[in-house]
Amino acid sequence: MNVDLEHLAALAEWDTPALSNALDLLRLRSFNGGYTDGSIQRITGTAAGGSGVGGPPMVGRAVTARMVARDAGDDAIPVSQLHRAVSEMEGPVVVVVEDCDAPPGAGAFLGEVNGSLLAALGIAGVVTNGRVRDVDVLRDLPFAVHAAGLCVARSYMRLTAVGEPVTVAGMRVKPGDVLHGDEHGVLQIPAEALPGIFEKAELIREDEQNVVGWSKSTDFSIPKLLELRRVKH
């Protein structure tokens, strides 16, 4: 499905909880899927020098890859395949790397060198269930990094596939999928949710702000609270 790039820019105005609520309202997917499960965190933000805390959301379309690192093997493919896939994707790109080792994290794909090359290609972020290194440099690169944590070594790291569906932190991702990420995690936005998601997000924000505003107002009372019926789903 085609994605309007203006809609991608508009997604960056919202945080992941708001967009997730709006997706629930649209009922385009189950309530318990389509987002990362908390086993990965935002390691760096998108602002120069940024930590994982604060900073603008990451928005882009997925370019996918698989890697292994724990043991030696002769299944490596050239990293140029990834660079080609990034350069051919229309719009901002989030590179999604599934670390296929069990357990993952023996060696990093993303560090200073791979990160600098991807920065030169203008990517919006990297999402991996694996680990990353050279974190001081990653903090200064102009894209967000979501990963399971940091690691020391490269080990036998190599890419083994590009352009295949992958699963990262419980989230299934296909090439071209729209991803939105912030401190809370990464959310997949079904293309058919655009542009309707914005109206739903506004509705929910109004509803929530009414309740929050009331909780702080002089009109608030415990009897009224006990009468309040907020039923979801």
Ligand X SMILES: O=C([O-])CC(=O)C(=O)O
User: Which residue lies nearer to ligand X by CB, 69 or 194?
Assistant: 69
Min dist. Cβ of residue 17 to ligand X (A): 32
Min dist. Cβ of residue 165 to Mg ion (A): 28
* Stretch of residues binding ligand X (CB under 6 A), selected from 33-41, 42-50, 108-116, 185-193: 108-116
Of 72, 157, 156, give the one whose Cα is nearest residue 114.
157
**Alpha carbon of 93 to those of 77, 85, 126: distances in Å?**
21, 10, 9
Min dist. Cβ of residue 56 to ligand X (A): 24
Is there a binding annotation on residue 15? Answer: no
154 binds ligand X (CB under 6 A): yes
Residue nearest to Mg ion (CB): 111
Is there a binding annotation on residue 75? Answer: no
134 binds Mg ion (CB under 5 A): yes
* Phi, psi angle pair for 179, to nearest 5°: -120, 145
Min dist. Cβ of residue 94 to Mg ion (A): 21
- 137 and 112 Cβ atoms separated by less than 8 Å: yes
Cα separation, 160 vs 105, whole angstroms: 15
User: Which residue lies nearer to ligand X by CB, 24 or 112?
Assistant: 112
129 sits in which H/E element? none
- 130 and 105 Cβ atoms separated by less than 8 Å: yes
114 sits in which H/E element? helix 112-120
158 binds ligand X (CB under 6 A): no
- 44 and 50 Cβ atoms separated by less than 8 Å: yes
* Stretch of residues binding ligand X (CB under 6 A), selected from 1-9, 28-36, 59-67, 106-114: 106-114
Of 44, 89, 86, 90, give the one whose Cα is nearest residue 183.
44
Interface of this chain with Mg ion, residues 172 to 231, rule: CB under 5 A: none
Binding site for ligand X (CB under 6 A): 108, 111-114, 133-134, 154, 157
Binding site for Mg ion (CB under 5 A): 111-112, 134
Q: Which residues are annotated as a binding site for Mg(2+)?
A: 134
